[in-house]
Amino acid sequence: MYKLIDAFPKQLKEALEIGRKAQLKSPGGPYTNVVITGLGGSGIGGRIAAQLVQGEAKCPIEVYNNYYLPGYVGPKSLVIACSYSGNTEETLAAMEQAMNKGARVCVITSGGTMLEIARTKGLDHVVIPGGNPPRTMLAYSLVQQFFLLRHFGIIDDGFEDAITGAADLLEQQKGTVKGAAQDLTEKLLGKRLVIYSESNTEAVSIRFRQQVNENSKELCWHHAIPEMNHNELVGWAGGRDDIAVVLFRHKEDHERTQVRMEINKEVFARHTPHIFEVWSKGDTAYARQLYLINIGDWISYYWAEKKGVDPAEIDVINMLKGKLAEVK
């Protein structure tokens, strides 16, 4: 796990090369909507991508983490199915619905049933390296989302340079990132983690939560501001000093959200002294979000190390899949 997280900057550049070499058919279109379907480590890339391009996308992009697709999916829809193993049953079910509805379907996977279907049906597909936990292959699945969105006319150029710059930054800042992650991990040990960010970067908070769940074997939760100011902030009346708050912040966050965060910190401080801010670095939104993702990944690893648990182990998920396989 250490080596895989450490390789994140390199993976981003390798993913760019894979995307550039992808053999895709004529884009067709125009498309009235995009639906990205995937779960867990395979699905989070779609959510991050949709968030990053929301300001330039030519049509709505939605992410579905379920067996189902929305009713509006049809011949003018683009559906991106992402399953690292190629065998995620929910994603395969959604993919079948998309084909039945006449949508343009394309696939991101390392193999499995999904790749077999894509080749048999003549669907556009991008093959990424296999053999590792899906959550450690985020760079590959995420970057392909941008290539597909550009190919099908949903976004313009610019992401390749931004991702290259982000990878360079992470390589240059590797020691600083690891050090910051180790310091924060020490402060989180023995606490229940709560993660907050502006709504525009909520997907980064989700990624951090997922990594803490899987790698650190810890329960935690996240919410986004300003939405949480209309509900969860009241719940802090039940806050305790064994809760630790991490706020992911950007200097580019909306100015009113920045004010809200400062007031929120005052509320949190009535109940817990454990309030920590992690500020992003980078010249682009891509760099800033990837920077925070990398810090979160490292925290989840160091947390597991401090607890003496295996960050790669997911026996309970494998048990669930085994029991599901018994149900015909």
Could you read off the pLDDT of 126-182 as tens digits, one per residue? 999 999 999 999 999 999 999 999 999 999 999 999 999 999 999 999 999 999 999
Chain centroid offset of residue 86 CA = 18
- Looking at residue 281, the DSSP 8-state letter turns out to be -
Q: Span 193-210, mean pLDDT?
A: 97
Q: Span 42-55, mean pLDDT?
A: 95
12, 167 contact by CB (below 8 A): yes
pLDDT tens, residue by residue, 3-32: 999 999 999 999 999 999 999 999 998 999
> How wide is the angle at C-alpha 125 spanned by C-alphas 120 and 130, nearest 5°?
100
Extents of the domains making up the chain: 2-163, 173-307
pLDDT value, residue 147: 98
Nearest to 201 by CA among 289, 295, 290: 289
Instruction: Note if 214 is an active site residue.
Output: yes
112-121 vs 89-100: helix axis angle to the nearest 10?
A: 20
Q: What is the mean pLDDT of the chain?
A: 97
Distance CA 321, CA 328 (A): 13
pLDDT value, residue 135: 95
Tell me which of 324 and 279 has the higher pLDDT: 279
Question: In terms of C-beta density within 10 A (0-12 exposed, 13-18 middle, 19 or more buried), how is residue 157 classed?
Answer: exposed
Instruction: Note if 160 is an active site residue.
Output: no
Nearest to 181 by CA among 203, 201, 211: 211
DSSP symbols for 143-180: HHHHHHHHHTTSS-S-HHHHHHHHHHHHHHTHHHHHHH
* Active-site annotation holder among 10, 25, 187, 321: 321
pLDDT tens, residue by residue, 234-275: 999 999 999 999 999 999 999 999 999 999 999 999 999 999
Q: Span 117-129, mean pLDDT?
A: 97
pLDDT value, residue 328: 72
- In this structure, the chain runs to a length of 328
Distance CA 175, CA 131 (A): 27
* Active-site annotation holder among 90, 198, 202, 214: 214
- Same CATH topology for 2-163 and 173-307: the answer is yes
Token pair 């010249």 is found at 283
Cα dihedral sign, 304-306-307-308: positive
Distance CA 77, CA 37 (A): 13
pLDDT value, residue 310: 94
47 pLDDT exceeds 90? yes
The torsion angles phi and psi of 230, rounded to 5 degrees, stand at -105, 5
Q: Span 188-215, mean pLDDT?
A: 97
208 pLDDT exceeds 80? yes
C-beta neighbour count of 190 within 10 angstroms: 10
CATH of domain 173-307: 3.40.50.10490
Query: Kind and range of the H or E element at 256?
Result: helix 255-269
Distance CA 8, CA 113 (A): 27
Confidence (pTM): 0.96
pLDDT value, residue 69: 96
* Active-site annotation holder among 3, 17, 21, 230: 230
116, two tokens: 């077999």
Nearest to 149 by CA among 48, 240, 278, 300: 48
Contacts (Cβ under 8 Å, ≥6 apart) of 141: 38, 41, 42, 45, 82, 84, 108, 128, 134
Token pair 């912040």 is found at 249
57, two tokens: 């996308």
* Second-level CATH architecture of 2-163: 3-Layer(aba) Sandwich (3.40)
Distance CA 95, CA 287 (A): 31
Q: What Å distances lie between residue 260 and 228, 235, 254, CA to CA?
A: 10, 16, 10
Instruction: Note if 230 is an active site residue.
Output: yes
